[in-house]
Amino acid sequence: MKQTIHSLLILTASAGVSSAAWTASNLSWEDDGVSNTPLTGWVETSLGSDPLDAGDFRVARDPDNWFPDSTAGTHVLLLEGDNGNEFGSLSQLLGGSAEAGTYTFSLADVGVTNFADNENAQLSFGFSLDGINFIGGSSQTLTEGSGGFGSPDNGATALNPSVSYTSDGTEGALYIMLATTGAHTGRSVPSIGSSSLDFTTVPEPSSTALFGLGGMALILRRRK
């Protein structure tokens, strides 16, 4: 019996070992030290009838001090152009391999620049399986004037929103994505200071069963 208990405890400890999950790069725009340059590692896609200009979605310094409480000196500007027909997305194909668990995509120091105010700017962010469409229930849309999303000129402060996606480990690919829409009427520009991607593993059913067996083994050991 002692040998059996010992073996169960070893299996239980081994069950918690995690393999490599999806990973992202340049989440804090660390590879982009020059203002007004496209984002390294991210793909810009036009979704409106008018194509985005090269570098519409770009890195810029914070010369106008949009958010005095921001800790990031470099922001990503999602320029929407001059009309509602010019909009699109920034996506990144995650590296590594699928692993069952929950991924959380977080943005920091998010707001609207003071190029223009009250122009109905929108920013959507979340997860995608194809780099074009968001996964249902795993994205969020911020609309200027709602939920504190806006320009500091209008008294808004920087937001730090996040969204999660639970993977079953069978996806062939997974993307994180930022997108603007055609709802705006001018050049209110969403601004993002940085982002992050976190992962929490979910034990497989077999692992859960092993933990249960380990618990039973401990109970038996105590009774003996």
Domain edges within the chain: 1-16+204-224, 20-202
Which pLDDT value is given to residue 151?
A: 83
User: Which pLDDT band holds residue 23 (cuts at 50, 70, 90)?
Assistant: very high
Most confidently predicted of 28-37, 66-75, 122-131: 122-131
Contact at 8 Å (CB) between 107 and 161?
yes
Cα separations (Å) of 91 from 75, 115, 165, 187?
A: 16, 24, 16, 21
- Average pLDDT, whole number, for the chain? 76
The mean pLDDT of 62-79, rounded to a whole number, is 61
Most confidently predicted of 43-47, 49-53, 130-134, 144-148: 130-134
Tokens of 94: 């995650």
Beta bridge partners of 111: 191
The mean pLDDT of 23-39, rounded to a whole number, is 78
User: Which pLDDT band holds residue 14 (cuts at 50, 70, 90)?
Assistant: very low
Location of structure tokens 């249960």 = 212
Contact at 8 Å (CB) between 102 and 166?
yes
Q: Give the model confidence (pLDDT) of 142-159 as tens digits.
A: 998 899 998 887 888 889
The length of the chain, given as a count of residues: 224
The SS3 assignment for 176 reads strand
> Looking at the predicted structure, is the pLDDT value of residue 6 above 60?
no
Of 74, 93, 57, 63, the closest CA to residue 189 belongs to 57
DSSP, res 154: G
Most confidently predicted of 68-72, 111-115, 190-194: 190-194
pLDDT greater at residue 15 or residue 80: 80
Which pLDDT value is given to residue 53?
A: 75
User: Which pLDDT band holds residue 173 (cuts at 50, 70, 90)?
Assistant: very high
DSSP, res 152: G
Give the integer Cα–Cα distance in Å for 6 and 3: 5
pLDDT greater at residue 51 or residue 42: 42
The secondary structure element, H or E, covering residue 38 is: strand 37-38
Tokens of 112: 């609207």
User: Which pLDDT band holds residue 81 (cuts at 50, 70, 90)?
Assistant: low
Q: Which CATH superfamily is domain 20-202 in?
A: Galactose-binding domain-like (2.60.120.260)
Contact at 8 Å (CB) between 58 and 36?
yes
Mean pLDDT is lowest, of 49-63, 83-97, 163-177, for 49-63
Which pLDDT value is given to residue 106?
A: 97
Measured at the alpha carbon of residue 50, what is the angle toward residues 45 and 52, in degrees to the nearest 5? 40
